Structure formats: C-alpha cells, structure tokens
Amino acid sequence: MASAPTYDSETLSDLLVAEVAAQRQSLGVTLGYYSRAAQSTRDPNVISQAAQLAHYLEDPLQALAMSELWLETSPHNEDALQVAILSEIRLGNTATTTRYLDQLLSAHGEDALGRLVNQARGLGAQGNLQLVEALAQLTHRYPDQAPLWYARALWLEHEEQPQPALEATERTLKLMPRHEDALLLKAQLLYETGDQKKALRHLKKLVRKYPQAQRPRIAYVRMLLTSGELEDAEKQLAIMAEQNPQDLDLRFSLALLALEAGASNAAQTHLKALLTYNYRPDDIQLYLAQAAEQEMDLDNAVEHYLKVGGPQAIRARVQAAQLLYQQGNTSQGHALMHNLAQQQPKLQDSLTITEAEMRSNNGDPLGAISLINDALRDQPDNTELLYSRAMAAEKIGDIAQLEKDLKRIIILNPEDASALNALGYTLGNRTDRLDEAYQYVSKALELRPEDPAILDSMGWVLYKRGEPDAARNYLRQAYEKFPDPEVAAHYGEVLWILGEQNQARQVWRDALEHTPDAPHIREVMEKLGARL
C-alpha cells in the first residue's frame, strides 16, 4: 500500500487555504495556492489539480505552466498533454501545439485525439469556439486524422457553411467509418443542404445497422417529426419504448419531443403510459393538457390542467380558466379565477388583471372593465389596475376613460414610461392632439431609450405630424429590435410614402412569412393600394 505524501507545514497551509477558498467559490485564490504547492511539492496530484483548474478558469498561461510541470513528472500523461495542447491553442502557438499533438498521438493514438476534440466541441462558449477553430486548421498538418476533420466539420457548420462541412464530414467517415458523432452530423448537414430525403435515408440506414443504439434512433425520430412524417416517427417512438421499458426519463423526453413537433397522439400515448408508473404526475398532467389543447379537445385539456399540483398548479388553473372563457363558459372561468384569488391573496391583483384580459380577448371588454372596477373600489390608486382598465377602455373606443386612467398613473408616478407611451401613442393615433402626444412619448423615450415599443410610438407620432424622414429612423430601430406585425406595418407605410416601395414590400413580406394573417399588414397595404 502506497504511503500518503508528506508535506511541510507551509505546503499544508497553502492546500488548506486553497480548499477553503474553493468552498467559498474563490477559485482564483484556490488556483494561486495550488500552483505554489504544485511547484514546491512536484506532486502529480497537486499539479493536475492546478493545471485543470487553470484550464477551467481559462487562464492559458498558468494552465500551460502547470501542464509542463505535470509532464516533467508524468511525461506521457494524456490529461496533461490535453491541457498543454488546449492552452497552446488558446495562446495561438501553433508550432508548439503540433509538438504536443505528436506526443499525444505517439503515446495514446487516434482515440486520444478524438477525446481532445470532444473536450473542445461545446460550441456555446467563445473559448471553445476558438479551440474548435484551431483544431480545424490542423487538418493540413495531420491529413489522416479523422478527429481533426470532424473538428473542421463542426467549425464549418457553425460558420453556416453546410456544404463544405458535409465534405469535411465525409473525409472523417472515410478515415473512421464508425465515427458516431460524424455519422449523426452528416444527417444534419444533408438536411441543412436541402437533401431531406437523403438525410432520412442515411438515418434509417444507421438505425437498421445499429438497432440498439439510442442516439441514431433519437436523431431519426427528431428528423421524422420535423419533416412531418408523423406515422413513421410514432413507429420509431414505439420501438424505443419497447427497447427501454425501464428508462422512464428517456420515454418522457421522447414524449415531449413528439409534443413539441405536433404529434399529439403519440405524445399522449407515452405520457399516459408514464402515469401508470406514477412518474412525475404533475408534469405529466400538464403535458397531457397541452397535448389535448393541440388537438382542440378543450374539455379534456381543462380536466388535465385541473389535476396539476405542485409549483405549476397556479399556471395550470389560469390556463384552464382561459380555455373555459374561450369556450364561452364565463361563469365557470370566473369561479375558477375567483377561487384561485382567494387561495392566493398576494396574487389577487395579477389574477384580476389576467382575468380581465381573458374577458377582453374573448369579446367582452365591458365585462373586463366591470371586473377591474370592482377591484379599484378597494384600491383606487392601484396603477396596475388603472393601466389594465385603460387598455380595456381603448378596445371599446372610450379614449376619455383611457386618458383619465393613464393621467392618474402619471400623477402617481411621473416616470411610468409605459403609461406615458400608451397615452402618447393613443393620442397620436386616435386624435389630432399630436403636439401633446409628442410630449408624452418624448418623456417615455427619455426614460427607456432602447424600448422598441416607445421607438415605434415616436416614429408613428412623427409620421402623423408630417415628418416621415425623422419617423423612418425611429421605426427602423424599433423594427430591428422587435419586428412584430404592427411595427412592420408602421415602418412599411413610412417607407412607402417616402418612395421606397420595394423596401416596404420586403418588410411586409418578412412579417407575413412569420404571421400570415397579420391584420395590421393587410390593412395598411389595402389603404395604400400596395401589392407584394
């Protein structure tokens, strides 16, 4: 039995301080003490801790120093070579990188290179992007190394170059035909290059060749769902469920995948099966409700929403009330919201406003106002309730009530940008009081200069005042930040009036692509006699 290393009192003190700092998440302090202890003890365990912590903290100079010390004590250690390579890449030292790569390949072979690429493939972090890019550039130096061609494919895919990425993937597979990540990436790239049928055939072939492998079948299911091949997707989901009857987490994930893709029947089948195991019952009831809602089976959806417990119970009951209102069951919807407000007194105002929106959205703005009036009797200066009543009043054309409520909010809080903007926009859009509208919107914009809704209001008020050139700049900013149909309608109208009809058409075309039935776009085009 090997004896534990013995350290002097100073080293023990350093290691103790390092551990305490780590517990307090002061990792920079931990690294300092570990590095000093690594140099004084030359203990591979301490050195490895210091090197890997420096790499985690993205301190390439310190990581390189520690990995070099590590390699002095363990010349062929794979982890030490990995840290050295990744540190040299971060520092831009290509020549030294290849020296360490040669050592890695000599000592551990191509599999080690594959593990290195996997270390650097988390494309969400900028540092890892840099590492993948650097590894991708090494294919000319190591043309026979499949992992480097795979890194090149990853980088090109990230750079939105699917065809070159596909070519790099093919090089990977020529060198290593069973490279699972490359096989899956090939399907994705085929899809991205527009060859959907070939991508599906490729995955189908993989599934047949490796029937027990989960990742290819999951990728196949995902692509079938994305392609609208629901029947084939359901067959594959059933096979996975049969192959993994005890893996409830997997079955749950597959059910959610089906639900997300609109395969409601398959989703419900798997969710109901999970209920028999009492697996995450509250989550299952919530998703069963969503699946029923997708199928427009609103009665069944309400039933499931009402069975949801736990942290999502409030959200589920509010959605049940929304569906009841949508069906015209106003009394049941109101009773549900009223009971919920009694159970959650701290949420009473929010629930009242939410129910008012339900009434207004389902064709009963007067009922919405009546509901808020009842709440305002007890708290007449509640700004959230006043704002909600103002918005409901606008829907029935009661501009006087809207103005009264919004001005009351502004008296109570002169820096309420939402109230200032709503009042300014409404006066500019529904009255001829344009100078007054401009003052309110200007004040709102001072308070929130980057808010796209306020930028849109300013552009629209300026346009109404006969200043289309000034309006265009504000509307362009609003559209770039938040290209919703109303903003697109305003921006397109101003462009059209300024003689930029082709650009206006493009703005409207883009908006209609995302929201084909957008009434704001259709109305402005009809007003201007415009055609796409």
Give the pLDDT band of residue 488 (cuts 50, 70, 90).
very high
Distance of CA 236 to the CA centre of its chain: 27
For residue 226, the surrounding DSSP H or E stretch is: helix 214-226
Nearest alpha carbon to residue 232 among 272, 261, 275: 261
Whether the per-residue pLDDT at 2 is higher than 50: the answer is: no
Phi–psi pair at 362, nearest 5 degrees: -105, 30
342-347: average pLDDT: 93
Phi/psi region, residue 448 (left: phi>0; alpha: psi -120 to 50; beta: rest), is beta
Contact 383, 412 (CB under 8 A): yes
What's the CA gap between 399 and 389, in Å, rounded?
A: 11
pLDDT above 70 covers a percentage of the chain that reads 94
266 or 435, which is more confident?
Answer: 435
The owner of tokens 């399907």 is 187
State the pLDDT confidence band at 266, using cuts at 50, 70 and 90: confident
CATH number, domain containing residue 44: 1.25.40.10
What is the pLDDT at residue 104?
84
Q: What is the pLDDT of residue 126?
A: 53
**Could you tell me the pLDDT band of residue 1, with boundaries at 50, 70 and 90?**
very low
Chain segment 138-197, per-residue pLDDT in tens: 888 889 988 889 989 988 998 899 999 999 999 999 999 999 989 999 999 999 999 999
Residue 30 located in a structural domain: yes
pLDDT tens string 364-423? 999 999 999 999 999 999 999 999 999 999 999 999 999 999 999 999 999 999 999 999
pLDDT tens digits for 23-36?
767 777 777 767 78
Mean pLDDT over 466-488 rounds to 96
d(CA 122, CA 516): 37
**Domain-embedded: residue 109:** yes
Alpha-carbon distances, residue 387 vs 25, 368, 417, 424 (angstroms)? 44, 12, 12, 14
The reported pLDDT for the residue numbered 410 is 98
Q: Does 355 reside within a domain?
A: no
Residue 4 clears pLDDT 70, i.e. is over it? no
Q: What is the model's pLDDT at position 14?
A: 60
For residue 449, the 8-state DSSP code is T
Query: Is the confidence at residue 531, as pLDDT, over 50?
Result: yes
Total domain count, the chain:
1
Q: Which residue has the tokens 């990853």?
A: 154
- Greater pLDDT, 111 or 168: 168
Task: Note down the domain range covering 92.
Answer: 8-119
Average pLDDT over residues 493-507: 96
115-132 tens-digit pLDDT: 877 776 654 455 567 777
Decide if 204 is inside a domain: no
CA-CA distance, 271 to 287, in Å (whole number)? 8
Are 5 and 41 spatial neighbours (Cβ–Cβ below 8 Å)? yes
Distance in angstroms (rounded) separating the CA atoms of residues 56 and 63: 9
Give the pLDDT of residue 175.
92
Lowest mean pLDDT segment, chosen from 245-259, 330-344, 386-400: 245-259
Degrees to nearest 5, angle at CA 341 with 337 and 342: 120
Residue-by-residue DSSP string for 386-448: HHHHHHHHHHTT-HHHHHHHHHHHHHH-TT-HHHHHHHHHHHHHHSS-HHHHHHHHHHHHHH-
Residue 59 inside a domain? The answer is yes
Q: By the 8 A CB rule, do 405 and 389 touch?
A: yes
Q: Is 149 inside a domain boundary? A: no
Residue pair 65/134 in contact (Cβ under 8 Å)? The answer is: no
73 domain-assigned: yes
Residue at 135 is within a domain: no
Least confident stretch, 54-68, 430-444, 458-472: 54-68
Alpha helices in 120-213 (DSSP H): 126-136, 146-158, 162-175, 180-192, 196-209
Q: What pLDDT, on a 0 to 100 scale, did the predictor assign at position 124?
A: 46
pLDDT class of 314 with cuts at 50, 70, 90: very high
